[in-house]
Structure 1
């Protein structure tokens, strides 16, 4: 059923809920017009619900066989989605007819995953994928309405970013091969994501792949990234992630030797072994990089050095944390990291040296006032 409300601007807005669970709105200065629009939309929805009653007998497993090949997502997203389907969706839902799944059945599934101690993020990812799968079934007129509506999901409270101290990074870098060490230093100072750092090239390439280094200016132009398997993507994470970042001179001095004996525009970070197929040294593998990374951290622990076992991505958090602690404004950090919203950068605001100055100043005044009152005998 449509709902109506008057906006602060004085305009009227009508909201209509689609069978898929999504909503559409229409705004006009006359309430009568938005009512007419809403009625037309509801008529269209009602007509669209006259579907073949046998369509709902198709099982989730059968629908998956048709839906999965047509799904258009990034390679890495597809790999993660495939894991969710194999582990949590198809084993539970595979034999269920689409038309027999109700909202309470979906809620029971979510609750079952919680009882099985599945991680909160994994539950949300599995649910969102299943909701997309059933939403597309609605569009294909296999079912009338998606049962994935008003489902209570486990809360995922925000987690404070993890970061390394300079001394901890030194302990890790000292135990890494030269290529990996240079890449870690680059990420810890510039905040590049792993895929952005892996895509750094010695100079601009003719095919416009890679993130080229401007050696004279000490800058890297970030215009894309590499996947975990070395596939070039024409963009980083978001459009705002396209940026130019400064690079400290000591990091450039670590990068330059990695290009010796190779083309000036070659990928900077490549594997030590040559590919048996092409005879060339391929770009680094994300999985292998993490193996070497954790091996270095574990080696430090074996030597009695306390280094937290954080992920490689925490090098990015480290870059932001170091800068904020030195008083760099959040908007400058946002530009360096390529965040699309300042709210993302504000996760580091508590590290600013003046973060609590106002509070501490107020405490000083309160304590001083108490001391004066006590001295006067009041």
Structure 2
């Protein structure tokens, strides 16, 4: 029950302080008033919010965004090391410089909208803005659950429209030109990627023990994540994770030609079972290959030399792998399992992505139509 206490000011005048207990039983004050009636009314109003579950801690709202995000929100999340490092990076680069000094209670929907406009003006893509806004929404949602905020200021944000791009898929002829332009030391790695569709972290984590030469398979059971040292809990840039993205190993069949290529590489470098198959230097016991280094020194020059006339990433070999499988008549579910996708909708986007897919579809239509007319 709310109550009132009397306070006498230094000038001798009498003032009244409204008091109540918060949801945790602690005594709280709603301020000082000139009359007993006003103080009790304010205290009863505050007590009502405790009873109906809408009470907010008036002092907690003064904590800054940076303090809350780094000391409360992030430690409360159950995350893998690499994901936590990514969140630390997003906070450090995108959010703390803008919101960091602001008390949580002072961040309004218009403040979040201003961040969106600022991010777009700095060249952040609509897709990236959307991704980072999801994280920002999560920070404020936790603050609402903690009774620090009455509402989530991210609820009604107007976000830039994400326009789906139609990606150009590498053709087999273009891949042959690219392979010819690659330095010899990376040809086995590029051949492995086009035939398996592995993600970068899975590819550079391969070891000879992952290859079964009798069954002609490669097992993906490990991945390497590359992060900034600033966000790494250990200060290491390369983090080894025991399982790939979907948390369970997968085994892929590969051709005899690729097996012969990998066997020759293992023998030439004298690799042991546990050495990295594609290290940063072609030596036994080598360290993980950096994606940034590979792209800058080897991938981009090879793409240019091959005359590829569209932006092509190493990751696009994964897209090409799936597209070629489906174009060749492979079963959609089999491709999904080979790619390590958790949902078939992800795999379906690779249907009809080769440049001549529409021509082939039209030819098939005309063929059937011609048979009906005969």
> How high is the TM-score relative to the length of structure 1?
0.71
CA distance in 2, matches of 1:288, 1:46: 60
Cα distance change of structure 1 residues 310 and 91 upon mapping to structure 2, 3 Å threshold: same
Question: CA deviation digits over 1:99-125, x for unaligned, max 9?
Answer: 122223323332343344421122112
Give the corresponding residue for 1:219: 217
Contact 1:162 1:318 (8 Å CA) reproduced: no
Give the corresponding residue for 2:105: 99
CA distance in 2, matches of 1:75, 1:157: 32
Structure 1 position 267 matched with structure 2 position 258: no
CA distance in 2, matches of 1:292, 1:255: 23
Contact 2:196 2:252 (8 Å CA) reproduced: yes
Q: Point out the structure with max Rg over C-alpha.
A: 2
Structure 1 position 297 matched with structure 2 position 302: yes
> How high is the TM-score relative to the length of structure 2?
0.72
Cα distance change of structure 1 residues 78 and 109 upon mapping to structure 2, 3 Å threshold: same
CA distance in 1, matches of 2:368, 2:161: 35
Give the corresponding residue for 1:118: 124
| Count of residue correspondences | 310
Cα distance change of structure 1 residues 268 and 116 upon mapping to structure 2, 3 Å threshold: closer
Give the corresponding residue for 1:329: 331
Question: CA deviation digits over 1:250-285, x for unaligned, max 9?
Answer: 2222212332223234321122177xxxx9411222
Q: 1:85 aligns with which of 56, 66, 91?
A: 91
* Structure 2: gaps (5+ residues): 1-47, 227-236
Give the corresponding residue for 2:255: 248
Give the corresponding residue for 1:339: 341
Cα distance change of structure 1 residues 166 and 258 upon mapping to structure 2, 3 Å threshold: same
CA distance in 1, matches of 2:351, 2:124: 31
CA distance in 2, matches of 1:341, 1:242: 16
Give the corresponding residue for 2:16: none
The RMSD of aligned alpha carbons is: 3.2
Q: 1:238 aligns with which of 240, 246, 256?
A: 246
Contact 1:103 1:151 (8 Å CA) reproduced: yes
* Range that drifts further, 313-322 or 171-180: 171-180
SS at match of 2:159: coil
Cα distance change of structure 1 residues 109 and 271 upon mapping to structure 2, 3 Å threshold: closer
